[in-house]
Structure 1
Amino acid sequence: MSRVLLTGGTGFIAAHVLDVLLERGHSVVTTVRSAQKGQTILDNHPKLPNDMLDFVIVEDIAQPGAFDKAVVSKPPFEFVIHTASPFHFNVTDTQKDLLDPAIIGTTGILKSIKQHAPSVKRVVITSSFASIINPSKGNNPGYEYSEKDWNPITAEEAVENPLAGYRASKTFAEQASWDFVEKEKPNFTIATMCPPMVLGPIVHYLQSLDSLNTSNQRIAAIMTGKAKEEIPATGTFIWTDVRDLALAHVKAAELPEAASKRFFVTAGYFSNEEIADIVRDNYPELKDKVPAKGTKGGGYPEEGIYKYDNSKVKEVLGIQFRSLKESIVDTVKSLQAVGG
């Protein structure tokens, strides 16, 4: 058993990471922004003593020294999994709302670990396919993306709009973490996770449809009638299930051979049209809301789509990816449970 600090514990991905950590026997302290959120997590794991699951409050990850106290523990932490970073487009100031929390939050926690938590051996950081893709190339048919690729976005482009700001926040934060390790030579190694669209069931006690994570909003739209006339464009055509991504995070902490590696965590292709087909075929009670077969929109681009190489995730971390059908069926079930 190892002791793990998990940041952003009420987030969509982090909630699943927490479940995997506990299932695998680790003791966990998770950061939250308020005592109320921390208590919600504890209340939903009532059989676990505080030495197996506890929380610490970090109100603003972009503040200097925000994690200084959080990284100190008895017994000391061996691993840190850093998932806390904004992913939304409800932005008034791209620099303040997206770039600063992601970049300062990531470098800040690495500084705090180096200064105050010498026992930590591995830090796993949630990055994104946004730090790999080159958006200027469009769908880039024939090109194969892998961990070797970096989004070439510039600081000037980053503040042009919220989507550019999000992609830049992930790119710059991940680059800053690799730069930190190279320059500071801390006691720990890092591994970064670069997932594309993250789908899959929500952890019921944390979410309602009102606060649904951005990736799953497309499924909610299809099952609640909002896409009845036209299926929205898919946008990003590769995906992963949140449960597979959570396991990848934990294995990247546990396995020595994951040190100093980026992981492009994707199960493969999907389209919004395929999601509609799966919901329609598996939930006949929703047929009046789900777009009918042949409804326009949501398909693949005619010119083709980029390829992907996910071999490192399979070979190093041993991840076997769930099917799109399993992911969507389970997601709809979880959304129905919170009022979908």
Structure 2
Amino acid sequence: MTRVLLTGGSGFIAAHVLDILLQHGHSVVTTVRSQEKADKVAEAHKEYKKDKLDFAIVEDIAQEGAFDQAVVSDPPFEAVIHTASPFHFNVTDVQKQLLDPAIIGTTGILKSIKKSAPLVKRVVITSSFASIVDGFKGTRPGHTYSESDWNPITPEQAVENPANGYRASKTFAERAAWDFVEQEKPNFTLATMCPPLVLGPIVHYLNSLSSLNTSNERIRDIMQGKAKHEIAPTGTFIWVDVRDLALCHVLAMEKAAAANKRFFITAGYFSNKEIAQIIGRKYAQYKDLLPSSSTPGGDYPAEGVYKYDNSRVIETLGIKFRSLEESIVDTVKSLQAVGA
């Protein structure tokens, strides 16, 4: 058993990380932004007493010293899984609303651990394929992305628009974490998780259709008939199921071989067209809302897309990825449970 601090416990990914940590017998304190969120999570895990599941309120992770109190525990923490990431929809100032919070949130927790949680040996941080992909090179057929790739975006390009700002925030925050470990030489090792589009079932007690995580919105929209006449562009053509990603976080904490490694976590390719086809095959009740075989859009580009190398995550963590069909079927079920 490990005593673990999990940040952002009511988030899409973190809610699944929490389930797996508890299933694996670990003792968890999770940060949430409000007592109301803490109560919802506690209510859904009534079988766990305070020694197995407790909460710390951190209202704004972008404040200096936000985690100073949260990292202090009795018994002391031995590991930290940092999934919390500030996200703003109405971005008017990329630097202040995207870049600063992402970087300060990430370096802030590392500083707090070094200062006040000396027994922490493992830190796992949720990063993103956004910190790997070169968004300026399009679908880049012929190139194979792996952990050795870094998004080359510059601070000047980052502030040009919110899309650049988002990708840059992930890139700069992850780089800042690796720089911290190299320069500060803390007692802990670092592992970073770099997933592309994350699909999969939502944790129903935390979600409604209106507060859905962005990546699952495409599934909801297809179910609701918004792709009947034209399927939206797929955008990112690789994906992972949230449950597999959550397991990777926990295994990266548990396995010594994961220390100081970056993990590019993807199950493979998908398109919006394939999502619509799976829903059509598995759920007859949506037949009249779904696109037909001749509906335009949502397919792979004619020129092809980049390749990927996910061998490190398979070999080091021993992951067997779920299929796209299983993921979509389970996601639709979970969306039906909140009114889709």
> Please, what TM-score do these two structures have when normalized by structure 1?
0.99
Query: Deviation at 1:87?
Result: 4.6
Contact 2:62 2:86 in 1 (8 A): no
The one-letter code matched in structure 2 to 1:84 is: A
Aligned to 1:12: 12
Counterpart Cα distance in 1 of 2:33 and 2:128: 23
Query: Deviation at 1:5?
Result: 0.3
Aligned to 1:191: 191
Aligned to 1:43: 43
Aligned to 2:130: 130
Contact 1:87 1:214 in 2 (8 A): no
Contact 2:61 2:86 in 1 (8 A): no
Contact 1:121 1:189 in 2 (8 A): yes
Q: How does 1:230-241 map to 2 (within 5 A)?
A: 230-241=230-241
Contact 1:89 1:163 in 2 (8 A): no
Query: Deviation at 1:294?
Result: 2.1
The one-letter code matched in structure 2 to 1:326 is: E
SS, match of residue 313 in structure 2: helix
Counterpart Cα distance in 1 of 2:308 and 2:224: 32
Pair 1:319-2:304 in alignment: no
Aligned to 2:293: 293
Aligned to 1:229: 229
Query: Deviation at 1:101?
Result: 1.5
Query: Deviation at 1:7?
Result: 0.3
Contact 2:127 2:195 in 1 (8 A): yes
Structure 1, unpaired ranges of 5+: none
Pair 1:267-2:267 in alignment: yes
- How many percent identity over aligned positions? 74
Counterpart Cα distance in 2 of 1:91 and 1:215: 19
Counterpart Cα distance in 2 of 1:235 and 1:247: 25
The one-letter code matched in structure 2 to 1:34 is: S
What's the RMSD between the two structures over aligned residues?
0.8
Contact 1:89 1:162 in 2 (8 A): no
Per-residue CA deviations over 1:3-52 (Å, capped at 9, x if unaligned) read 10000011000000000100100011000111111111001111110110
> Please, what TM-score do these two structures have when normalized by structure 2?
0.99
The one-letter code matched in structure 2 to 1:301 is: P
**Which is further off, 277-286 or 88-97?**
88-97
The one-letter code matched in structure 1 to 2:6 is: L
Q: How does 1:81-96 map to 2 (within 5 A)?
A: 81-87=81-87, 89-96=89-96
Aligned to 1:205: 205
Aligned to 1:80: 80
Aligned to 2:120: 120
Contact 1:237 1:271 in 2 (8 A): yes
- Paired positions, count: 340
**Distance verdict in 2 for CA 1:62–1:86, change over 3 Å:** closer
SS, match of residue 141 in structure 2: coil
SS, match of residue 287 in structure 1: helix
Counterpart Cα distance in 2 of 1:100 and 1:29: 26
Contact 2:71 2:112 in 1 (8 A): yes
